[in-house]
Amino acid sequence: AIAYHNHIPTMGEWGWVLGVNLPGIASEKLKNQLSSMEFNEIDTRFLNQDAMVGMLNFGKGQFDKLPEIKINHEL
């Protein structure tokens, strides 16, 4: 699984987790594959390789408090 984020103008910064259930696809490999994708064949105004690289990278210290985050197990 890999975390990614994007700024949505009307709603601010949002983040998601993308997971793949395939053998041999570790997080770093998934990140490398997504970072190297080209979107030339997709008719879109905003999604391109630069945007994808930006969505997959976070600023300094972004995950420093990760161990302190409590997981919500309630549905």
Question: Within a domain: residue 31?
Answer: yes
Residue 65 lies in a domain: no
Q: Is residue 72 part of a domain?
A: no
pLDDT of residue 58: 92
| Three-state SS annotation for the chain | CEEEEEEECCCEEEEEEECCCCCCCCHHHHHHHHHHCCCCCCCCCCCCHHHHHHHHCCCCCCCCCHHHCCCCCCC
- With a pLDDT cut of 70, the percent of the chain lying above it is 100
21 domain-assigned: yes
For the entire predicted model, the pTM comes to 0.75
- Tell me if 64 is assigned to some domain: no
Q: Domains in the chain: how many in total?
A: 1
Domain residue limits at 30: 2-56
In this structure, the number of other CB atoms found within 10 A of the CB of residue 55 comes to 19
Q: What are residue 24's DSSP bridge partners?
A: none
| pLDDT tens profile 33-62 | 999 999 999 998 889 999 999 999 998 998
pLDDT band at 70 (very low <50, low <70, confident <90, very high): confident
Residue 49: inside a domain: yes
